[in-house]
Structure formats: structure tokens, C-alpha cells
Amino acid sequence: MQCARTLMWILVLAAPSYAKADGPPSAEFKPDPASVQRYGPAYRYPQAGWIVLHIEGEPYERGYQHGRLMGNEIGAHLRCFATTLSSKAPSEDWQSTRRLVNALFLRRFAKEYLEEMKGIADGATAAGARFYNRPIDLVDVAALNLWPEIETLDSALEATPTGLEGIRFPHAQPREMPKPRPEHCSAFAATGPATADGKIVFGHITMFGLYPANFYNVWLDIKPAKGHRVFMCGYPGAMQSGMDYYMNDAGLLIAETTIGQTRFDIQGQTEASRIRQAIQYAKNIDEAVAILKKDNNGLYTNEWLLGDINTNEIALFELGTHKSKLHRSSKNEWIGGTDGFYWGCNNTKDIDLRLETIPSVNGRPANLVFRPSDRDEVWQKLYHKHKGKIGVEFGKEAFTTPPLAAFSSLDAKFTTSDMAKELKSYALFGPPLGRTWHPTFDQKTRYPEVKPLVSNPWTILNGAAPPSTDIVAVDVPSFKPSSIANIGKATAKRSRNLLNVPAWHGTILPESDADIWLATAFADYERIVAREKTTEGNPAEREALVPFSADNFRIAWARSAR
């Protein structure tokens, strides 16, 4: 005879522990098997404020896995986006956003990513997610992935010529200009003479609004049927990063910071589609630059930082609509005397790109002179302080130094050549300066679902699969409570061998009402297994037992345990 507590003790003794550290940790995180959720080959688990999500396969399949595992968060993220666009009537005004997305952008994605987003929508709906009581569809998910382009469209249209530039009208009236775009992020790439080992150190930090910031904690691991395995910082429903930190298994690193918005080319491909193509199919800087540049619609104008850990080359690619500028470490094309170091912080460096931010030079004069910002100056100071010594500690210091780390900063991520070879990054989710970010009274009024953003410790995010969660119950020889410690030692010594051997004898009695389900299921399941064994030679009888297979029972048990 066994009691339910026996099983609980064994699982507790066998469970791995969490890694904790104030700075970048030395030990890697191992998730608790009980925290892992699975759908087919996909899985998710929490890690220091992040949600690690792995999906794989063909486009629709991996999208469906994403939707099934992130359904609740996708529904909440949709409400967030709709509410930030219109807090008074989010459901009604969302229809206008959908119309804009459908008209301008939906057909400007590569087909592969439309299939993936369709899978995300279908999977989320199947998981029970709804947007104001209706199923989530492809246009909803596309809109989530187009927020950078929706946000920058007004400024891009303002920079796009109408043909009236330079004409003076006698009764011209003043008009409202688009609101300045908020600053979003800072990033750096270091190599060669700037770093301690001559290899790459590469990082990115994000600034954003509090309500959406709570959703940008997804570390997305995509193993597609075609192309490279991709890792990126993202959000529920993402097929691109949005917070723009990427790596792939070919050794390519990509990050970005936005710069002055250039013109809109309605015939161009979306930035979301181009960056995903670049990180999934490019294996070096040249290939990534070519993909980003081709058929560019100009929206979400960026300085792209790139690194190739195979050659330890880094690059800064300023990409406007029709103009671009590529700086490469292999050609010693440095800016401001920072040999071995590029940085970005929302400040356009190239004059040709700054010219694309206005429709014409024939109207009112515009100031197009480059002026270093306070963040530019801090990057320069940090570079000169650490030149020739940049390494892991540089990433931590940079991303906890104001104004690079600001009140509205929500994360920090960085890696090195050696770490990236193993698809690893140091990452911190939440305010890097350690203070909890509380919503204001106005934010709580406009956004009822807004939550505070708390700071989490540094952790190492990677592509390692979590421990198996196939364990349902364990039957072991009788023992006394005093021997529990010995069982723990035996379990550790024999790894999972003990836990993977089913043995159907004895009876479980419930220790309390909370254990009734386990005592009942244990007995009922034994009869199902026994019947399966007796029908092994009869395919017709065995087919009738499919709904009660061991795999289906394990899935049902895992769901009930959550």
C-alpha cells in the first residue's frame, strides 16, 4: 500500500533547482519539469520573467504550436494593442486597424510567414483565445506583427512627397504635425581592438510603454523545416522580434535601433517579413544586408547592427527607404574614432538618410545636421573606458547605466561569440535598474489590465530542450519515511531510470480529498493498460482503445495538474 505523499516526495527530490544571480549568472538555468507545457514537439516554460517558447516544423505547423501554447497571452496582447490605439472604443476602432493592415500590408509578407501567422491564429483560437468574444484570425496576428509599421506610418507619409513641395499658397493654414516617435532602444556591437579576446560582444536594450512592455518577455526559439534555427526576443503572436534582437545557428547576430523615419514605398515588402527572412535564411552579413534592402517599404527605419561569429566581423547598416549606408569592421569603417565598436541609439548618422526624412529641401528649412545625443556621448565614454577590455561585464555595466538604461527600459540582452556558438544569451527582463515600474493613475484608468513591471535577475537563455515531463506516477518498493533521503540519492544516482519503469501493483489510498483523483486514476489506468496488453495481437480491438492510449492519458494528467 502506498499513499500519494510518496509520489510527491519523489518528484520533489528529483526536481532540478533554479539558478539565481545578481549579475550575469555563472550557472545555467534548468526549468522545473512541472513548469513545462508541451504541444507536440513544441514547449514553453518560465525563466526569470521570460517565457521560453520552442516551435518547429513547417510554417502552419509551427504557427499552430505557437498559438496553442500562447493562446491566453495572444488574446491579452491583442486587447493591449487595440486599447493603446484607442482606449475609449478598442473593439470598434480595431476594425479600422484591421482594414489598414489588410489593405496596405497583408499581401506584402512572404507566403511562408502568412502561413505561420495563420497557424498562430488558428492555434490560439483552438486554445480558447478570443478577441471580444470572436475568434482570432490572420489579420489580427498580422497586425500584432505590424505594430512598428503602423506606428511609423504617419511620419513616413509626412516625409513622402506629394508634388506640392516648394509651392507657396496665398491662404495656406497651419496644420497639426505627427507626434514625435518615442525613443525605443540602444544597442552595441564590439570586436577586434575593442574587446578583450578580439571576438564579438553584442547587445541590445529596449524602451517602451508600460502596458505593452509586459508582453515583450517571450524568448522565441524557432526550428523551421527550411532555413536556420532562429532565436529572438519577441511577444505572444510574434513571427518577428519587434524588440529586435536575433541570432541564428549559422552564427549571425542582428539587432536594431530606430532612426528618423524615411519615406513610405507602398510597393515594398514589410519590415517584419524582411527581417524574418534575413535571420532565417542568411548565413553572413552580406546575405542579411541584401535581404533587408530588397523591396524595402521604408517603414520602421533602422540602424541594423550585425555580427558574424564565424569571422568576428561586425557591421552597422543604416537603411532608409531608397538610401542606405553600410559600415564594416573588415574595412575599418569606424565612426567617431571608436575602432572595433559600433553603437545605435535612435540618432541617424548618415546625411543621405536624414534627407529622406523630409519630402523636399525647397520648403521650410529643416535642420539636418547630426548632433550627438546624451546616449551617443555615454556610448563614447563607455567605449574609451573599456577599449581593449570589452567583455561580459561591459554588457552588464552598459545596460545599467543611465540614460542607456532609462525609466522606461524593460529588458537587456547581450551575448559573445563563444556564447552565440551555443545559441546562448545573457538576458534580464524588467527594469534593468532594479526598480519596479508602477502604472500611473491615468494609465490604470485608460488600461484596466495594465500591471506593474518588476525587475528579474540576469539569466542565461539558450536553446537546450527542457527535461522530459512524461513522468506520471512511480511505483517503488515499500520504504519507511526515514529512508526518503536514500530514495533521493538513489534517484539522482540512477537518473531517470527508476522513474521511467512502470510497475502496476499495490494500491494508492488518498491522504486527503485533494488526492482522490490520483487514487481513482491510478486504479482505472491500470485496467486500461492491462487491456491494451491483452489485445496486442488483435488490431481491431486495439484500435477501439485509441482514445484511452497512454500518451493521451499523460496529456490529460499534465493538464489537470496545472
Tens of pLDDT along the chain (562 residues) come to: 334 333 332 222 233 333 333 567 767 889 999 999 999 999 999 999 999 999 999 999 999 999 999 999 999 999 999 999 999 999 999 999 999 999 999 999 999 999 999 999 999 999 999 999 999 999 999 999 999 999 999 999 999 999 999 898 999 888 777 776 666 799 999 999 999 999 999 999 999 999 999 999 999 999 999 999 999 999 999 999 998 999 999 999 999 999 999 999 999 999 999 999 999 999 999 999 999 999 999 999 999 999 999 999 999 999 999 999 999 999 999 999 999 999 999 999 999 999 999 999 988 889 999 999 999 999 999 999 999 999 999 999 999 999 999 989 999 999 999 999 999 999 999 999 999 999 999 999 999 999 999 999 999 999 889 987 554 444 444 444 444 445 444 444 444 444 444 555 678 887 777 777 787 877 777 777 666 665 555 555 554 444 444 455 454 444 444 4
Q: Is residue 99 part of a domain?
A: no
Q: Is 346 exposed, middle or buried (0-12, 13-18, 19+ CB in 10 A)?
A: buried
Q: Is residue 83 part of a domain?
A: no
Query: In the prediction, which pLDDT does 38 show?
Result: 97
Instruction: Read off the CATH number of the domain in which 385 is found.
Output: 3.60.60.20
Pair 349, 493 in one domain: no
Pair 263, 384 in one domain: yes
pTM: 0.81
Q: Is residue 52 part of a domain?
A: no
Pair 315, 243 in one domain: yes
Pair 380, 295 in one domain: yes
Pair 247, 382 in one domain: yes
Q: Are 271 and 300 in contact (CB under 8 A)?
A: yes
Last residue of a domain, one of 410, 431, 461: 461
Query: In the prediction, which pLDDT does 494 show?
Result: 42
Last residue of a domain, one of 414, 433, 461: 461
CA pair distance 115, 536, nearest whole angstrom: 40
Pair 475, 453 in one domain: no
CA pair distance 461, 129, nearest whole angstrom: 28
Q: Is residue 224 part of a domain?
A: yes
Pair 417, 276 in one domain: yes
Q: Are 70 and 44 in contact (CB under 8 A)?
A: yes
Question: 386: domain range?
Answer: 180-361+375-461
Q: Are 40 and 67 in contact (CB under 8 A)?
A: no
Last residue of a domain, one of 435, 461, 487: 461
CA pair distance 136, 134, nearest whole angstrom: 7
CA pair distance 94, 131, nearest whole angstrom: 10
Q: Is residue 61 part of a domain?
A: no
CA pair distance 358, 7, nearest whole angstrom: 68
Taking CA atoms, 295 is separated from 193, 260, 325, 560, in Å, by 36, 19, 16, 49
Query: In the prediction, which pLDDT does 521 show?
Result: 79
Pair 517, 541 in one domain: yes
Q: Is residue 159 part of a domain?
A: no
CA-closest candidate to residue 461, choices 50, 14, 33 = 50
Q: Is residue 29 part of a domain?
A: no
Query: In the prediction, which pLDDT does 515 show?
Result: 74
Q: Where are the beta strands (DSSP E) in 243-312?
A: 245-248, 252-258, 302-308
Domain tally, the chain: 2
Taking CA atoms, 377 is separated from 146, 271, 314, 381, 515, in Å, by 32, 29, 21, 6, 62
Pair 436, 489 in one domain: no
Pair 423, 314 in one domain: yes
Cα angle 140, 143, 149 (rounded to 5 degrees) comes to 175
Q: Are 347 and 259 in contact (CB under 8 A)?
A: yes
Pair 475, 415 in one domain: no
- Range list of H helices, 128-264: 138-145, 147-159, 210-213
CA pair distance 78, 211, nearest whole angstrom: 12
Pair 225, 287 in one domain: yes
Q: Is residue 113 part of a domain?
A: no
Query: In the prediction, which pLDDT does 120 show?
Result: 98
